[in-house]
């Protein structure tokens, strides 16, 4: 962590602005120009993660292409002291998530209009933001009107590549503001950002996201199946037209939304203030002249008197019955579509829904490793588990405490373990005695990614021998950091069909440098054959 007065990449650090899971942002002084800049730095331990590094670099590349008064300007990027950095426009203000909510109507409209202009500019230049939310909207107080700036293009994608997830299939947007197509892994276009912008407007006006819940499954169900909640239930003083505008922008099908974010913002202003041009399909229709329907030359059927002078023409009973007959058919079609989409979302292992419900390939790998090595690992199938937390734990070989993880990027506790963070699942078994041997099983999305992780670890360690047993190959290594001995390790890979994606890492700290004897003595006792 840098402190005031430190110099990094030529920038003089003034103070820390904020920290997150991927890095920190500092207020810094430009080395040559008389201005302040925001210096965003990726955490050093994430530098070896190819996907996170690419995402960080993509943020600079995409944002640098977008010159707009409502988008935070990116000045430069680089690598210094093994850390990626981006210098960008410093905005002296707060983000929209940190202002008191709900906010006044006019301020909400102003924020949405500025953000909509930024998004439409990005869309015209082939960039989708994919994480629109109050925390990514900066508000700068000036002598005039409050400035609105969109920031954080860290998970943005070019339009022609926006349907791809990350390499490991993980979900990266913020769940409370994610569009239905983001949750199901469907192709994205500019209307996905519009959905998130509508969620943002609802949050600013109501003080909570549209489908807010402490249960992520409930949030997902709301986005995929729930009707848009009425903003007037929280702000009854708002006109009814606001609900209609939000309902259109929050439509489940992108085709049912507005054509652009600017059109949505204009509809919001019209609904709230009655100014501007109302969007197609909204607002009071022109008054219709009263039409006199003359009496027919013959008398109508008994009990069906034709109302004279009524503005609504008489509809024969047969026509009414015909129109009603369509209702069950339409309902069946809609129901079939909803059920079909639900089945697809339920069965698809790559969606965020599967991750929440512990049905991804990574969760299955946890159970498969337990079944393959029951003497090493505790049982691997437990229902009702909490998402992204250690969801299985028990006693493994030799009394070691074992925990299972998915999304291992955030579950590698030691710096050297970052080599294996591309794994989709991990069993970690540790002894209470720190100098005893520990072991971890990893499963990767592909055999190629497993081989790449092993090669990366070997490039950072020293070869001190090898061995094999049946279909298992063992590579004996010692690891040093800054010429300081860290640990002895055995990296095992498997040639059994179905286990090419698996890697076993056994390691033991020692003061004896290259002496692997204590580890190998424990290792040969592992029931791995």
The span from the first CA to the last CA of the chain, in angstroms, equals 46
pTM score:
0.54
Answer yes or no: are the C-beta atoms of 206 and 218 closer than 8 Å.
no
381 and 254 in one domain?
no
136 and 32 in one domain?
no
**Structural tokens at position 138:** 């900066």
156 and 200 in one domain?
yes
The pLDDT value recorded for residue 302 is 40
> Domain of 67: which CATH number?
3.30.200.20
The pLDDT value recorded for residue 488 is 85
The pLDDT value recorded for residue 335 is 56
What residues have CB less than 8 Å from 502, skipping those under 6 apart? 369, 441, 442, 443, 444, 450, 493, 494
Using alpha carbons only, what angle is made at residue 448 by residues 444 and 454, rounded to the nearest 5 degrees? 70
The pLDDT value recorded for residue 24 is 86
Residue 428 bridge partners (DSSP): 403, 440
Answer yes or no: are the C-beta atoms of 148 and 142 closer than 8 Å.
no
153 and 118 in one domain?
yes
Question: Starting at the edge strand that comes first in sequence, how are the strands of the sheet with 93-95 ordered?
Answer: 93-95, 137-140, 147-150
Q: Indicate which residue of 95, 131, 193, 522 is catalytic.
A: 131
Alpha-carbon gap, residue 441 to 345, rounded angstroms: 29
Of 209, 186, 194, 304, give the one whose Cα is nearest residue 245.
194
Residue at 311 is within a domain? no
Alpha-carbon gap, residue 293 to 300, rounded angstroms: 13
Alpha-carbon gap, residue 402 to 390, rounded angstroms: 10
Classified as helix, coil or strand, 16 is: strand
157 and 78 in one domain?
no
Residue at 25 is within a domain? yes
Rounded to 5 degrees, φ, ψ at 205 are -85, -30
Answer yes or no: are the C-beta atoms of 95 and 137 closer than 8 Å.
yes
Residue at 320 is within a domain? no
Residue at 344 is within a domain? no
* Domain end among 21, 55, 89: 89
> Domain of 209: which CATH number?
1.10.510.10
Of 458, 414, 459, 439, give the one whose Cα is nearest residue 502.
439
Q: In the chain, how many domains are there?
A: 3
Whether 365 is catalytic? no
Would you tell me how many other CB atoms lie within 10 Å of the CB of residue 433? 10
108 and 66 in one domain?
no
**How far lies 364's CA from each of 352, 355, 443, in Å?**
15, 11, 10
How confident is the prediction along the chain (529 residues), in pLDDT tens digits per residue?
788 999 999 999 999 988 766 778 999 998 888 889 999 888 877 777 777 777 777 766 777 788 899 999 888 888 888 888 888 899 988 999 999 999 999 999 999 999 999 999 999 988 888 889 999 999 997 666 899 999 887 544 454 444 343 333 444 458 899 999 988 888 899 999 999 999 999 999 999 999 998 888 889 899 999 999 999 999 999 999 999 999 999 999 999 999 999 999 999 999 988 755 555 545 443 333 333 333 334 444 344 343 333 333 333 444 434 444 445 555 555 555 455 555 444 444 444 444 444 457 777 888 888 888 888 888 876 443 333 444 577 888 888 888 888 764 545 656 667 778 788 888 888 887 766 788 999 988 888 888 888 888 888 888 888 888 778 888 888 887 666 666 788 999 988 777 888 999 988 865 455 556 667 666 666 666 5
Q: Which domain holds residue 441?
A: 355-523
Residue at 110 is within a domain? yes
Residue count of the chain, please give it.
Answer: 529
**How far lies 382's CA from each of 169, 356, 473, in Å?**
23, 14, 31
Alpha-carbon gap, residue 436 to 507, rounded angstroms: 9
Of 119, 192, 117, give the one whose Cα is nearest residue 162.
192
241 and 209 in one domain?
yes
């Amino acid at each position: 962590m840098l402190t005031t007065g430190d110099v990094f990449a030529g920038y003089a650090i003034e103070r820390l602005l904020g920290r997150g899971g991927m890095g920190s942002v500092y207020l810094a002084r430009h080395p040559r120009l008389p201005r302040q800049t925001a210096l965003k730095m990726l955490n050093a331990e994430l530098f070896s993660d190819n996907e996170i590094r690419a995402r960080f670099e993509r943020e600079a590349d995409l944002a640098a292409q977008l010159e707009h008064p409502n988008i935070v300007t990116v000045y430069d990027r680089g690598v210094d002291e093994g850390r990626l950095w981006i210098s960008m426009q410093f905005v002296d203000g707060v983000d929209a998530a940190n202002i008191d909510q709900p906010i006044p109507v006019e301020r909400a409209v102003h924020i949405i209009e500025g953000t909509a202009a930024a998004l439409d500019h990005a869309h015209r230049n082939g960039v989708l933001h994919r994480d629109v939310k109050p925390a990514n909207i900066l508000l700068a107080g000036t002598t005039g009107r409050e400035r609105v700036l969109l920031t954080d293009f860290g998970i943005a994608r070019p339009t022609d590549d926006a349907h791809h997830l990350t390499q490991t299939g993980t979900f990266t947007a913020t769940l409370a503001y994610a569009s239905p197509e983001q949750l199901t892994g469907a192709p994205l276009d500019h209307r996905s950002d519009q959905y998130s912008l509508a969620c943002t407007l609802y949050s600013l006006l109501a003080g909570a996201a549209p489908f807010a819940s402490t249960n992520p499954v409930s949030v997902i169900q709301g986005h995929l199946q729930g009707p848009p909640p009425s903003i007037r239930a929280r702000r009854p003083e708002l006109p009814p037209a606001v609900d209609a505008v939000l309902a259109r922008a929050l439509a489940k099908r992108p085709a049912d939304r507005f054509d652009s974010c600017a059109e949505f913002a204009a509809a919001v202003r019209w609904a709230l203030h009655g100014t501007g041009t109302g969007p197609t399909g909204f607002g009071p229709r022109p008054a219709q002249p009263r039409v006199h329907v003359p009496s027919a030359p013959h008398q109508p059927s008994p009990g069906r008197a034709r109302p004279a002078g009524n503005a609504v023409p008489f509809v024969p009973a047969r026509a009414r019955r015909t129109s009603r007959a369509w209702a069950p058919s339409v309902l069946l079609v809609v129901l079939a579509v909803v059920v079909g989409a639900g089945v697809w979302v339920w069965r698809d292992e790559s969606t965020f829904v599967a991750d929440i419900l512990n049905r991804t390939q990574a969760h299955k790998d946890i159970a498969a490793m337990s079944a393959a090595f029951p003497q090493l690992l505790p049982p691997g199938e437990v229902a009702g588990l909490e998402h992204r937390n250690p969801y299985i734990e028990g006693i493994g070989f030799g009394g070691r405490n074992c925990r299972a993880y998915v999304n291992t990027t955030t579950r590698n506790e030691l710096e050297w373990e970052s080599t294996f963070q591309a794994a989709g699942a991990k069993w970690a078994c540790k002894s209470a005695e720190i100098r005893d041997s520990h072991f971890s099983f990893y499963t990767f999305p592909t055999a190629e990614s497993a081989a790449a992780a092993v090669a990366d670890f070997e490039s950072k360690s020293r070869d001190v021998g090898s061995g094999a047993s049946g279909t298992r190959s063992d590579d004996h290594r010692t690891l040093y950091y800054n010429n300081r001995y860290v640990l002895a390790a055995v990296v095992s890979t498997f040639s059994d069909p179905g286990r090419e994606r698996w890697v076993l890492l056994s390691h033991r700290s020692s003061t004896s440098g290259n002496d692997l004897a204590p580890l190998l003595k424990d290792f040969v006792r592992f029931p791995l054959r």
